[in-house]
Structure 1
Amino acid sequence: LYDPETTIATLAEQGMEGLEQFEEIFNAIPVMLCGLTQRGVALAEEQ
C-alpha cells in the first residue's frame, strides 16, 4: 500500500486525510491476519 521509504513524503503530500487512511489500514492489519489464518485453517481441515 505504502512504500516504507516514501511513506512520510506521501503522507505529507496527502495531509491529514492520508494519515487517517494510513491509520485505518494499520489498525485493520491484525483483523485481516486473523481472517486469513481462520481461512487457512478451514481450508486445511477440508483436505
Structure 2
Amino acid sequence: ELHAVYHLLSMTFNRRIRLEVTCPDADPHIPSTVATYPTNDWHERETFDM
C-alpha cells in the first residue's frame, strides 16, 4: 500500500489535523490537494520526482 500523511494547521483557529490516506499497490494514485491548497503544488512535484 501507498500511504500519504497530511499535517494541516489552521493559523486562524490554532487547530491541527493529521490526515492519512492509503491506496492499493495495484492503483497507487492519491488525488491532488492543489485545488484546495494551491501552494502545495511545489511539494507534490517534489514528491513525484522522488
- Asked whether the two chains share a fold, i.e. TM above 0.5, the reply is no
Q: Greater Rg, structure 1 or structure 2?
A: 1
TM-score, normalised with respect to structure 1: 0.38
| Greater relative contact order (Cα < 8 A, sep 6+) | 2
TM-score, normalised with respect to structure 2: 0.36
